[in-house]
């Protein structure tokens, strides 16, 4: 199985701050990675697919990049509605595997 290491596990940031979350995979997966946002008590929402493509309807404050086995999700200017848990998911090979999640909170 492909392991996905996500960091940090929690993040305190100020409104307006630039935030970066990282996932590293145990083997090369090309760009086969999604990012999801999950608010308490809700289902995950797709933010970014194929590592860099912004899902329709999502704010352009979210962006994804990757280099080799390292993937990043960036929020350019933190807004109150961005407070949530964030997960990455590799869909290169079965079983699909998720990162452990990042809990984003306001400082």
Partner 1 sequence: QVKLQQSGAELVKPGASVKLSCKTSGYTFSTSYMSWFKQIPGQSIEWIGMIYAGDGGTGYNQKFKGKATLTVDTSSSTAYMDLSSLTTEDSAVYFCARGQLGGDYWGQGVMVTVSS
User: Tell me, what DSSP letter sits at residue 80?
Assistant: G
Q: Does 71 bind partner 1 (CB under 8 A)?
A: no
What is the smallest separation between the CB atom of 88 and partner 1, expressed in angstroms? 10
What totals of helices (H) and strands (E) does the chain contain, helices first? 0, 11
Q: Which stretch binds partner 1 (CB under 8 A): 11-19, 20-28, 45-53, 73-81?
A: 45-53
Specify the 3-state DSSP secondary structure of 82. helix
78: tokens are: 């933190």
What is the spatial distance between Cα 59 and Cα 100, in angstroms, rounded to a whole number? 24
User: Tell me, what DSSP letter sits at residue 40?
Assistant: T
Q: Which stretch binds partner 1 (CB under 8 A): 16-24, 41-49, 62-70, 75-83?
A: 41-49
What is the smallest separation between the CB atom of 54 and partner 1, expressed in angstroms? 12
Q: Which of 64, 99 has the CB closer to partner 1?
A: 99
Binder of partner 1 out of 11, 13, 54, 96 (CB under 8 A): 96
Q: Which residues bind partner 1 (CB under 8 A)?
A: 32, 34, 36, 42-46, 49, 55, 87, 89, 91, 94-101
């Amino acid at each position: 199985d492909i392991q996905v290491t996500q960091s940090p596990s929690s993040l305190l940031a100020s409104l307006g701050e630039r935030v970066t979350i990282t996932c590293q995979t145990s083997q090369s997966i090309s760009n086969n990675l999604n990012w999801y946002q999950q608010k308490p008590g809700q289902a995950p929402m797709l933010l970014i697919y194929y590592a860099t493509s912004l899902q329709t309807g999502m704010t352009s404050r979210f962006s994804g990049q990757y280099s080799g086995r390292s993937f990043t999700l960036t929020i350019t200017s933190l807004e109150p509605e961005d407070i949530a848990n964030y997960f990455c998911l590799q869909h290169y090979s079965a079983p699909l595997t998720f990162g452990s999640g990042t809990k984003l909170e306001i400082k």
